[in-house]
Chain A
């Protein structure tokens, strides 16, 4: 009699434990942008029905700087309340020490995603976040104006410069209003790092810091690229471009005051809105190549999902992450809110091509995606980026030549790195 009791109890308790382990209570934190939260909730509801776990959303303001600061605070306080973090492509590597290594758990799916993105989320051989959706910029151009002046979309930056100057002058002298040649993001912020990285990399100047951690930025091709860009300020680009972020440049473009714009995919559908002056009059091509370079470069953006090491429900969290990054959910996200998938195969999907034709257009752009050096510089990335954009901004505003600023930049980066990243 006494013998069977413990066994029965053990069986009973393990059954209870099993069912308790099945139903996990998870929390995912995400920035609240547009329809993201509504969409996320929809996907989470599907997840809840399928697995029996419950997931709660914790919202953050749209400012990514605020989000990052908060994540840092939570993670360093080893907060167990948040299980899954939605991270910008440059964040997970900086917070890598707090995230779970997903390599083992995602072995079966990792090959489906673009290699550049996976590379950007791998620190010291560990995959710290799984891609959710991605972003990469393109060169927007005015089809009507180029046609009118008999030009083809440019393949090099110098070509772009010449076409922009020619059209700008012609339009202005024939009463076409205050039109500019080229608008981009020249304000001193992370976006400038993206723009400048493109100029440098497409000119064969490297990636600021190489994937093995070498500081490569101080080289002639990089200087040439940045000097070229500095020549645009006040000529084909308004002086104010030094203060433009994505929205400012889109504002100038969308009211019809620019021939070319460098911007992310989000501007595509907005530019086709009924109240846009450029509706139906534009298209995109991959960004141009530099005079000393061979291939185009587009800086990788996008968002990923990471699992907190302090979570009590790591297994369920990994399940959630794989679910939200799966082809089915990515396809739904693409169709509903034109978020670019990170899975290469989806770019050939006929349904996506039909409902969101802008997405297949972007495939070629992704082939040339370049990540910012957040994986090699790890937790120091923000500082590295800040020094880089300062050096570029100074050059663009006429405060020193590219050569001088890049040399100073190299010294600063050396100081930041000390012995090792």
Chain B
């Protein structure tokens, strides 16, 4: 097979995969969107393309009082969680990746073990602690408790990636008289952008979508975050599931995340700059 034929086949194969992946990822969401435009018993009919358009669901969700405020709460909590986690993780992972010291493996394993506990089990203990610290009903209680799942993950991923950075860079910097914190922030961080953006994004989404702690530690409607607000949406009776409103709310809630990804995905840039290594 000739070179150009091989290339065409690869291109075709690539595009085929792209289409399949996109459909697979988006179809349920697409279906949710068209459901959100349906009203009443129409929901019980199956169609693949939207028949009517009704903005009623969106109006009821957005006009309903607290939802915009809840969106803001979620933004605050998620952003703060990511910022704090990344900061703590970057400094910690430098130590864990580039410095040899006794107890390093044990420490890494202990951090990992935090991720082995079911969220439901720490609920009661955390609840007690939050109450005693006077943080109940505040956004701070959420930011603090979300560390329990963002920290282990970000520390581990950043440690793994930092380990792979070439030692020559560090040695060059030390020869130039750089202190450890300068090595971290001036030399390593720029090279770690793919890892930073990825873990930041994943941590953001985890904090954004967290439900159990948000339900338990905040009971005031104005302080609530978005997943709980969605769960508060209800139909006319306790048995009814308000598909239309839920789907509308979900669309509203997912769109900012998609926009975030579109903005940041440019930051996931290709590889190490060749010059820095070879130079």
Contact = CB atoms under 8 A, between A and B. Distances in A.
A73 B41 contact: no
A245 B239 contact: yes
Contacts of B127: 73, 77
A59 B238 contact: no
A33 B235 CA distance: 6
Contacts of A77: 127-128, 131
B241 A32 contact: no
Interface stretch (B105-113, B171-179, B199-207, B213-221): B213-221
Given A63-B231, A255-B44, A58 B237 contact: no
B259 interface: no
A270 B236 CA distance: 9
A151 interface: no
A276 B231 CA distance: 26
A61 B231 contact: yes
28 contacts: A31-B234, A32-B234, A33-B236, A33-B238, A34-B234, A59-B221, A60-B232, A61-B215, A61-B232, A62-B232, A62-B233, A66-B215, A66-B231, A70-B215, A70-B216, A70-B219, A73-B124, A73-B127, A73-B216, A77-B128, A247-B240, A254-B41, A255-B41, A264-B239, A266-B239, A273-B41, A275-B41, A277-B41
Sorted nearest first, the 5 A-B pairs with minimum C-beta distance are: A61-B231, A246-B239, A275-B41, A266-B237, A62-B234
Q: Is the interface of B mostly helix, strand, loop or mixed?
A: helix
Given A33-B238, A73-B216, 15 more contacts: A34-B235, A34-B236, A34-B237, A34-B240, A35-B236, A58-B220, A61-B215, A61-B232, A62-B233, A66-B231, A77-B127, A254-B41, A254-B44, A264-B239, A266-B240
Contacts of B123: 73
A145 B263 CA distance: 60
A201 interface: no
Contacts of A213: none
Nearest to B240: A247
A286 B153 CA distance: 57
Nearest to B120: A69
Nearest to B231: A61
A62 B231 contact: yes
Nearest to A274: B40
| Size bracket, chain B contacts | 20 to 34
B219 A32 contact: no
Contact of B238 (A31, A70, A276): A31
Contacts of A411: none
Contacts of B41: 254-255, 273, 275-277
Contacts of A277: 41
| Size bracket, chain A contacts | 20 to 34
Nearest to B224: A59
Contacts, number: 73
A406 B98 CA distance: 63
A374 B215 CA distance: 26
B228 interface: yes
Contacts of B238: 31, 33-34, 62, 64
B168 interface: no
Contacts of A273: 40-41
Given A34-B236, A66-B231, A275 B42 contact: yes
Interface string A45-65: 000000000000011111110
B135 to A, nearest CB: 14
Nearest to A185: B239
Contacts of B240: 34, 247, 266, 270
A331 interface: no
A246 B221 CA distance: 28
A73 B237 CA distance: 25
Given A58-B219, A255-B44, A276-B41, A32 B237 contact: no
Nearest to A275: B41
Given A59-B221, A70-B216, A250 B239 contact: yes
Contacts of B237: 33-34, 266, 270
Contacts of A247: 239-241
- From A31, A33, A58, residue with most partner B Cβ within 10 Å: A33
Nearest to B233: A62
Nearest to B219: A58
